[in-house]
Amino acid sequence: MRSKEEAFDYRYFPEPDLVPVEPSEEWVKEIANSLPPLPRDRRHLLADSIGVEPTETSLIVQRNLDTFALQAISSNADKNRVLVHLENNLADGIGKLTPEAFASLTVMETNGELTATQTKTVLADLVESGGDPQEIAKSHGFESMDNSELEEIVDRIISENSDDWLSYINGDETERKKKSGFFVGLIMKETSGQADGKIVNQILSAKAEN
């Protein structure tokens, strides 16, 4: 006695209402070439341009900002700062920010012309109104400090906090990191945020070794 048919009993039966389709290789290529890049390809393209793993570009691709990122990089933007800003500071979109202005801003930041805080302020203005990052920075009074002037301030802060300076010099890694934050905080306050924290740390390290 024949058993009741199951779905797999019909898998070799042709569908009478479907016309056989045998696409040519040329037609398949034409369709493939007409499709936009897939997210995986976009992640890899951006990752290769920045020099990171594709997983690190997923969020940027998800936000459809990868083309913008590539345009900024082609305008000599700092690749790592592009990644950081697009992930952390441009979550709500780029507004009137252009790739060229973004590239210029990242260069100003990495050159020490702007601190991280100042960069965020200028970036917010660029998103809202567009413009030239140099002019916006100037309008806020974000002029880079001369290193000789900064060293004088560091020397004064050290002399006013000699016990903390000794702890910075003689302490272990944890203590040194703690005191580094202490001195950077005082110097940033003294300079109204105009000092570059990275440069301050370099000056402190150099003075500790002498």
Task: Give residue for tokens 């992640």.
Answer: 43
Domain that holds residue 108: 39-139
Q: How far apart are CA 178 and CA 121, in angstroms?
A: 27
pTM of the model: 0.66
Residue 69 resides in a domain: yes
**pLDDT score at 3:** 59
Query: 100 and 122 share a domain?
Result: yes
pLDDT score, position 7:
64
What is the reported pLDDT for 63?
Answer: 96
Q: pLDDT tens digits for the chain (210 residues)?
A: 555 566 666 666 667 777 888 889 999 999 988 988 999 999 999 999 999 999 999 999 999 999 999 999 999 999 999 999 999 999 999 999 999 999 999 999 988 788 888 899 999 999 999 999 999 998 988 876 677 888 899 999 999 999 999 999 998 889 988 999 999 999 988 887 778 788 888 899 988 887
Identify whether residues 131 and 61 lie together within a single domain: yes
150 contacts 198 by C-beta, under 8 angstroms = no
Tally the residues of the chain.
210
Q: Are residues 74 and 115 in the same domain?
A: yes
Q: What is the pLDDT of residue 94?
A: 97
Phi, psi of 20, rounded to the nearest 5 degrees? -60, 135
